[in-house]
Amino acid sequence: MTLLQRIEARLVERLPVRIQARLLAAHVASKAIVRSAFWLILFVLAAKLIAAGKEMAVAYRYGTSAMVEGYLFVFNLLSSPVSLLFSVMSAVLIPHLVTQQREDPDRVLRWQRQVTAWVWLVAIVLGSAAALGLPRLLEAGWLGLDGAARSAALSVLPWLAGIVTCGIIAGWHACQLMSRQQHGNTFLEAMPALGVLIAVLAWPTTGGSAPLLWGTLLGFVLQVLLLIGVAKVAGAPIDPSWPPGRPFQRTMMSNASWLVAGQFIMGVAGVVDQVLLAHMSTGNLATYGYANRVMALVLTLSATVVGRAVLPVLANETDAALRLRLTRLWARRLFWLGAAGAAVLIAMAEPVVAALFERGSFTAADTEKTTYLLRLMALQWPLYLVGTIWAQWLLASAHVLTGLWWAALAGTASKIVTSFLLIGCLGWDAEAICVGLVAATLGYWIALRASMRALHREHKHER
pLDDT at 5 over 70: no
452 vs 38 pLDDT, higher one: 38
What is the mean pLDDT of the segment spanning 28-33?
77
Long-range Cβ contact pairs of 460-463 (< 8 A, separation 24 or more):
none
Q: Residue 38: its pLDDT value, please?
A: 83
pLDDT digits (tens, 9 = 90+) for 213-246: 899 999 999 999 999 999 998 888 888 887 777 7
What is the mean pLDDT of the segment spanning 418-425?
87
Confidence tier at 26 by pLDDT (50, 70, 90): low
Q: Residue 2: its pLDDT value, please?
A: 57
User: Mean pLDDT over all residues of the chain?
Assistant: 82
% of the chain beyond a pLDDT of 70: 88
Confidence tier at 19 by pLDDT (50, 70, 90): low
Q: Residue 398: its pLDDT value, please?
A: 64
What is the mean pLDDT of the segment spanning 277-306?
80
pLDDT digits (tens, 9 = 90+) for 95-153: 888 888 888 888 888 888 999 999 999 999 999 998 888 888 777 766 666 677 777 77
Domain spans of the chain, in order of start:
49-248, 251-462
What is the mean pLDDT of the segment spanning 76-87?
84
Q: Residue 13: its pLDDT value, please?
A: 61
